[in-house]
Structure 1
Amino acid sequence: MPEKVLVLWDIDRTLLYVGTTDRRVYQDAFARVVGRPAERLPARGTGVTMPLAVRELLRANGVTGEAEVERLADRVIELMPELLESRVPEMRQEGQVMVGAEAALRAVWAADALVPGVLTGNLRRSAEIKLGVFSLDGFVDTEVGAYASDDAHRPALVSIAQQRAAAKYGTRFARDNTVIIGDSLEDVRTGLLGGAKVIGVASGTVGARDLADAGADRVVADLLNPRLLLKSIADLTSAARREQKAGDAG
């Protein structure tokens, strides 16, 4: 039986796009907790985890003192999944599945050697809501994913996902057999620092050249070619295993 490879999908702008819903949820949560409207919102498409974005939101809107930021951040974060769920009809109307994403998900899901999970800056419940809205939740094993609710430091999520996958599938997962598929510079940084290969998808706010310059191991324009995606995964993990064996022999 071939060695398993863990494939960790980013969600926003890689698999789906929810329009302005996330930003409205930030606005709703801020107003409910702080008692006034937010004048500045987090930057779009950065891939930063939601807890860090919430802290940025509070500081950018005049909340001072780290103790106060932390206190209010906890309350905002607790509200986010509930507020997101209340906007499911809006997500269905304004959002969309990214081009080629469903076919790519199906291809990875159907490959015996691949374990498709999730690595996202969303909280777990928020991730499940988004995937469910667009009927993509059947093509990933959310039990072996890692989420912002696990750790706000995104590179730390790689080892969390690897440990969960190892416990479930009885296979060691490390850089040589773990691949992140994502659209942001943060996805690339996560792989470099966390211990995974990265396939950058130029479907978000970052162009193909910038993804490559940041250190993505492969870059594709979109997910329209599932065969190319599967080949890229196989090439990267095969090469990594050869490098590992050579290092061990040396």
Structure 2
Amino acid sequence: MILVLWDIDRTLVYTGDIDRRVYRETFTSIVGRPPTALPARGTGVTMPVAVRDLLRANHVPEHSAEKLAARILAELPQRLSGYRDMLAGDGIILPGAVAALTAVHQTDNLIATVVTGNLRDSAETKLSSLGLIGYLDTTIGGYASDNPHRPALVRIAQDRAAAKHGSRFDRNNTVIVGDSLEDVRTGLEGGAKVIAVASGTTTAEQLRAAGAQHVLPDLTDTDTLLNLILRAGRPDQGEAL
């Protein structure tokens, strides 16, 4: 069995400025003033890391930052859920994503879930609003609500998949598909092979230089993607394509 860990934002979907609007509204609600700086786009860092960066960039005193961060993180998913209609109407499913998800979902011995910098409720809101959640077993994913250190999410997903399917998952049979340098780092440090897609803010050259085993321009070549996933799941084969 091969565990396929999908990133969400800028790999499967693009939600425009909705996340940044949610960060702005939640910060204003909790801190009591609007932020003058927002998280950088497309970095792939986990939401807890982004929130702490947000507080730091907006000169929130260190002694109160931890408590405020916890309150912001608790409110973010609920506030995002208020944008379901906007996500469904304005969110974009990236080219090839549905075909790629379908191919993985329908292939024997491939188990598809997510490893994402989103909190679990936020991830499920995005996926369900855009009609993609049925292709993924979100109960065995790794989320920022599990651990703010993104590489740790690989082992969390592997352990959950192992408990459900009775198979052992490690670097030899786990593949991440993602668009950012954080996705590459997550795989390399967390214990998964990396198929990067240059559909976000990071170039193919940057993804390759960071250590991704394979880099595709996007998800539109379903056959190539599926072949890479299947071959990466064979011991000692994933590096020699």
Q: Which TM class, normalised by the smaller chain length?
A: over 0.9
Alpha-carbon offset, residue 95 of structure 1? 1.3
* 2:18 counterpart residue number: 21
In structure 2, the residue corresponding to 1:206 is in which secondary structure? coil
- Root-mean-square deviation over aligned CA pairs: 1.2
- What are the superposed Cα offsets for residues 113-162 of structure 1, whole Å, 9 maximum, x if unpaired? 10001000000000000000110000000011010000000000000000
Matches within 5 A, 1:137-156: 137-156=133-152
Distance 1:125 1:242, change over 3 A: closer
Cα distance in 1 for residues equivalent to 2:217 and 2:55: 35
Within the candidate set 12, 15, 30, 2:9 is matched to: 12
Distance 1:196 1:242, change over 3 A: closer
Percent of counterpart pairs with the same letter? 56
What CA distance in whole angstroms lies between the structure 1 residues aligned with 2:25 and 2:2? Answer: 40
Q: What's the CA shift for 1:209?
A: 1.0
Q: Which runs of 5+ in 2 are unaligned?
A: none
Question: Aligned residue for 1:185?
Answer: 181
**1:235 and 2:231 are equivalent in the alignment:** yes
SS at match of 1:14: coil
Aligned partner letter, 1:102: V
Q: Check if 1:50 corresponds to 2:47.
A: yes
The 8 Å contact of residues 49 and 148 in structure 1, kept in 2 or not, is answered as: yes
C-alpha change, 1:186 and 1:69, in structure 2 (3 Å) is same
The answer to whether the 8 Å contact 2:175/2:195 transfers is yes
The one-letter amino acid of 1:41's match is L
Give the distance between the partners of 1:28 and 1:207, measured in 2 at CA.
31
- 1:10-49 deviation digits (Å, cap 9, x = unpaired): 0000000111000000001000000000000010000000
Structure 1 regions of 5+ residues with no counterpart?
A: 244-250
CA–CA distance in structure 2, aligned partners of residues 50 and 185 of structure 1? 16
Instruction: Name the residue aligned to 2:201.
Output: 205
In structure 2, the partner of 1:92 is 88
TM-score w.r.t. length of structure 1: 0.93
Q: Return the letter of the residue paired with 1:89.
A: D
Kept in 2, the 8 Å contact 1:81–1:126? The answer is: yes
SS in 2 for 1:39: coil
Contact 2:173 2:235 survives alignment (8 Å): no
Return the alpha-carbon distance in structure 1 between the equivalents of residues 172 and 10 of structure 2. 26
Count residues with an aligned counterpart.
239
Matched-pair contact (CA < 8 Å) for 1:19–1:91 = no
Does residue 39 of structure 2 align to residue 34 of structure 1? Answer: no
Alpha-carbon distance between aligned partners in 2 of 1:55 and 1:168, rounded to the nearest angstrom? 34
1:240 CA drift (Å): 3.1
Q: What SS is found at the alignment partner of 1:240?
A: coil
Contact 1:121–1:148 under 8 Å retained in 2: yes
Q: Which residue of 2 aligns with 1:74?
A: 70
**For residues 37 and 214 of structure 1, what CA distance do their matches in structure 2 show?**
36
Runs of 4+ in 1 over 4 A off after TM superposition: none
Return the letter of the residue paired with 1:82. Answer: Q
Within 2, Cα distance between the matches of 1:161 and 1:91? 26
